[in-house]
Amino acid sequence: MTDGTTPRVVAVNRGTEQTTDAPPTGPGPRHRALDAWVGRWINQGHMIDEDGSPGATITTSDVYEWGPGGVFLVHSAYGRIGEFDVGGTEIIGYDETSGAYRSHFFDSQGNVTVSRLVADGDTWTYQGDTTRSTVEFSDGHRVQTVLHERTDDGTTYRPSMRVTLTKVT
């Protein structure tokens, strides 16, 4: 090409385009920070009742793995909350354009939750419209301790679930 552009895939859903942008060099350090999540986990805990006491038992199997290209995590979860079968699929990634981590969670009840993630050392915080979660990694990233909270008014949060995920592989 004489105009300095070359064809390449810029975004898979757009096909090939002419661009002067340099091709991506692969996952960067912000993507690699997500390595802490990769693996198979057993998730055990409980709901938190209105009075703050432990409620229904939660048991799930969670798998976090790299998607194609190694820039997004795919998280699948299957299990039970009390007597109910639950599950979902989450996509977690770092968006270079916005400079933020994002999570899109599609649950077995048909809900979609979009959250912003903030990493601070071994602590990750999810913030959605009506939920937030604080994830603390410990034991060399082999344990996740998680407090889930919810809000009905957008201001006041109350604990909804407390779980511990233990990496099995």
Q: What is the CA radius of gyration of the chain?
A: 19
Q: What is the pLDDT of residue 112?
A: 96
Instruction: Tell me the C-alpha distance between 89 and 97, whole Å.
Output: 24
Instruction: Tell me the C-alpha distance between 162 and 54, whole Å.
Output: 9
* Six token digits for residue 150: 């919810």
pLDDT tens digit at each of 169 positions of the chain? 457 787 877 777 888 888 887 766 778 899 999 999 999 999 999 999 999 999 999 999 999 999 999 999 999 999 999 999 999 999 999 988 889 999 999 999 999 999 999 999 999 999 999 999 999 999 999 999 999 999 999 999 999 999 999 999 9
Instruction: Tell me the C-alpha distance between 54 and 159, whole Å.
Output: 11
Cβ neighbours for 153, distance < 8 A, ≥ 6 positions apart: none
**Domain 25-167 homologous superfamily, CATH:** Calycin beta-barrel core domain (2.40.128.20)
Q: Positive or negative CA dihedral for 80, 134, 36, 30?
A: positive
Q: What is the pLDDT of residue 1?
A: 45
Q: What is the pLDDT of residue 2?
A: 56
Q: How many CB atoms lie within 10 A of CB 154?
A: 8
Cβ neighbours for 112, distance < 8 A, ≥ 6 positions apart: 104, 105, 106
